[in-house]
Structure 1
Amino acid sequence: MMHSNDYDITFGPSFISDKSTNLYTYACHETERELCLMELTELFGHEPDGEDWLESEQWVDPDRSPFLSACIDVRMTGESIEEMAEQAGSIHLNNASFKVVCLKAGDRFSYEQSRGYERVVGRQITGIAQMKAPDVTLGMISTGGIWRLGLLHEPERAWLKHKQKPQNYSTGLSSRIARALVNLAVPRLSEVTLLDPCCGMGNVLIEAFSMGIAAEGRDINPLAIRGARVNLRHYGYDDNKVAIQDMNTLQGHYDAAILDLPYNLCSVFPEEEKLQMLQSLRRLSDRAVIVSTEPLREQLMSTGWKVLRHCTTHKGSFVRDIWLCE
C-alpha cells in the first residue's frame, strides 16, 4: 500500500522546511482521561496543548498510542481559511488523486462549515479530487484561529485485534490500557528490555511485542502462563518469552517493568507480600509502571521508589491506580 509520502507532491514556497511540526489529535473516554494525558505527556515530553490536540516537532507514529486519532504533517499555516486556500494553490499533486479533511478537533465547526472549508481549500489544489480511496489525504485544522494544513496520517489501529484474545480474565487489563502502560514504561522505542513479572494472560506483553519491544513475562500461576502462551501463539509471538516463576526469586536486570499487583475482590492482599514484591521490582528495574487497586504511595516510598506521575482509571466501581516510578 502506498502512502501520501510516496507520491510526487509539490508544496510550493509555503512549504515549511526550516522547522517541521506535527499536529496530533487525540480522544478518550472520561474514565481514562487521566491515563491518556499521562501517556501523551511521556511520549511527547510535554502536556497536550488543547483539550483534543497537541503540537510537537517530535514524530510519534499515531498507531503507538490508543488515544491518538490523527497526525497532520504540517506544511502550511494561515490566520484565515481564505489565506489557507490561497496557499493551497501552490500544492501540485500532478496525476495523484486527493481529498481534504477538516479534522473534528481544535476549533469546532458544524458539519456544513467543515465541508465548505474543505471545498474552498480543495478547489485551489492542482490534482484529481476524489473522496473515496484517494492517493493523498490532506488534513487541516484550526486551533485558536490559526489554520494548519498538511499530509494526514491516520492510525490503522491493528492493536484493536488484541481485544479478542482466546484467553482472558474478566478483570484483566484491556488492550487499550495495556498499550498505554507500555508507552509509559517505554516512551522511547530504542533498544530496551521490558519485564512483566505478574504477566497474567500476557496482555501487556502482546502490546509490547506489537511495538517491537523486547519483553519477558513471569507469573507464579501455572494457569496464567498456560493462557499467556495460548494468546502469544494466537498473535504470532514467541510463547517462550513467558515462564512460571515467583518474581521474588527472579534474577537479572531490565530497563523497565510493568507490575499489575495481584488483587482479589474477595480477600485482602497481605501487606508483607506487597512490600516484598515492590522491593524485588526495585532490584529488577530502574523504571516501573505499577498498577494497584489500593493506595500505594507510602509503600512505594518505603521500598525506595520515587513517584513521577500518578493517575486513576475507572470501570464502573472498579478503580485502578497507576504509578509511574523510578
Structure 2
Amino acid sequence: MLYVEILGSLPEMARDEVRAMLELGGGKITGEDYLLLKVEADEKAYPFLDRLGLAHEYGELTIEADSVDELLKKADEVEWPIEGTFKVDTETMANCEHDVLDLPRKLGGVIHSKGFKVNLSKPDNLVRAYCGEKLYAGIRLRYFDPKDFERRKAHHRPFFRPISLHPRFSRALVNLTKAKREILDPFMGAGGILIEAGLLGLKVYGVDIRPEMVEGAETNLRNYGVRDYTLELGDATRLEELFPNKKFEAVATDPPYGTAATLAGRKRDELYRKALRSIYNVLEDGGRLAIAFPIEFDGKGEAEAVGFRTVGMYYQRVHKSLERYFYVFEKAR
C-alpha cells in the first residue's frame, strides 16, 4: 500500500492526475483523508507516480490507525522497511482530529527501540506521520521539490514571455492525457507544456502562428535538455495540413485568452471552436485532450459538439480578471 500527498490548490485535478498515472502504472486509489490518498499499487507504478505535478510526495503506507495509542502499538508490531538512519516528521492536516504534538518523539522512540538509529539532520529514511480523521505512518519514497518547478517558471527561461502556466499545471495537463509516447501542443507559445512533457521522456510536437515563438520555444526546450521535438510554424485550426496522415496519441495546450494581437487578429471564440475541431481530427481514437479555456467560453459544450467526451473539468480563479476551467476530453474509439 502507498500514500500520495496531493497539493491543496486544485485537489480534484490533483486527484485525477494521480488516478491517470495509476491507470498507466497499474493501481487504484482506495481511500482518501483530506489531501492524503491511499493507493493500492506496487513498484511498477513508481515511474508513473514520479511524473506527478500536483503532488507533494508519495511513499509506502505502513500504518493506519484510529488513535495515537493504536498507531504506536502497530508501530511496535510491524516490520519497518528502514535501511540506515531515520527521522520522524509529522504532517498535521487541516482536518486533524488527534493530539499529535508529541507524536514524533513517541513514534521515534518506538522505532528506535527496534534497533534503528535516529539522525535528525540527515536521515537516510524519513518516516512521515499524517494526522487527519485518522492517523497514518509510512516511509517517504519521493519528494517533489517545489524548487525544481520554480526553476522552470517563465521568468527563468532564456526566452521569456510573462503569460505562462505554472510548470506544475503544465505537467498535470500532460499527465491527465495519459500520454506514454508523444504529445502535441498546437498553441505552444514559449513551450512550457512541451518542456514538462519532454522532461518526462515524451516526443513533443509544437505549433505556433508566430515565428518568434517557434524560435523561442526551441531555445527553451534545448535549455532544459529536451531534444526529441518537432516544432512547426502554423495555424492551430489547420493541423491536418501541418501533419498530413499523422494521428497524435495526446494533446495538451493552453490557448491564448486575450487581445487581437495575441490571437493573430481572430475572434477568440471562433478560434477556439475551429481549433477544437482540428485537434479532434488529428487525435487518435481514444486519445485525450487537456486544455484550458476562460470561464466565459463553454468549453464542455463546444467540445462535445465536435464529438469529444468530457472526462474532467476543474475551475481555477487566477485573478479578478481571469477565471478558467481546465478540461480533459476524450475522443471516442
TM-score computed with the length of structure 2 as normaliser: 0.78
Superposed displacement of residue 41, structure 1:
4.2
Q: Which runs of 5+ in 1 are unaligned?
A: 1-20
Tell me the amino acid that sits aligned with residue 295 of structure 1.
Answer: D
Is it true that 1:168 corresponds to 2:173 in the alignment? no
Match of 1:322 in 2: 326
**Structure 2 equivalent of residue 39 of structure 1:** 17
* Structure 2 match to 1:291: 292
Partner of 1:179: 171
Question: Are 1:98 and 1:136, in contact at CA under 8 Å, matched by a contact in 2?
Answer: yes
Cα distance between partner residues in 2 of 1:156 and 1:304: 36
* Alpha-carbon separation, structure 2, partners of 1:261 and 1:100: 44
Alpha-carbon shift at residue 268 of structure 1 (Å): 6.7
Number of positions where the alignment pairs a residue of Structure 1 with one of Structure 2:
300
Check the 8 A contact 1:92/1:126 in 2, yes or no.
no
For 1:289, give the aligned amino acid: A
Alignment RMSD? 2.9
Distance change >3 Å, CA 36–CA 76, structure 1 → 2? closer
**Where do 5+ consecutive residues of structure 2 fail to align?**
23-27
Report percent identity of matched pairs. Answer: 21
Q: After TM superposition, which residue ranges in structure 1, 4 or more long, deviate above 6 angstroms?
A: 92-95
How far has the Cα of 1:48 moved from its partner?
6.4
DSSP-derived class of the 2:33 partner: coil
**Structure 1 residues 55, 177: closer, same or farther in 2, change over 3 A?**
same
The TM-score normalised by the length of structure 1 is: 0.80
Q: Structure 1 residues 220 and 36 mapped into 2: Cα distance closer, same or farther (>3 Å)?
A: same
Give the deviation of 1:306 after TM superposition.
Answer: 1.7
Q: Which residue of 2 aligns with 1:277?
A: 275
Give the structure, 1 or 2, with the largest relative contact order (CA under 8 Å, sep 6 or more).
1
Structure 1 residue 33: Cα displacement: 4.1
Question: Could you say if the C-alpha distance between residues 93 and 40 of structure 1 is closer, same or farther in structure 2, counting changes exceeding 3 Å?
Answer: closer
Change (3 A) 1:282 1:102: same
Q: CA deviation at 1:222?
A: 0.7
**Does 234-243 or 106-115 show the bigger shift?**
106-115
Cα separation, partners in 2 of 1:308 and 1:93, compared to 1, 3 Å = closer
1:155 is aligned to 2:149:
no
Q: Distance in 1 between matches of 2:83 and 2:231?
A: 51
Q: CA shift at 1:167, angstroms?
A: 2.1
User: How many angstroms does 1:63 deviate by?
Assistant: 4.3
Q: Which is worse superposed, 308-317 or 233-242?
A: 233-242
Whether contact under 8 Å (1:99, 1:138) holds in the other structure is yes
Distance 1:245 1:303, change over 3 A: same
Distance 1:88 1:37, change over 3 A: closer
Instruction: Work out the CA distance in 1 between the residues paired with 2:120 and 2:200.
Output: 31
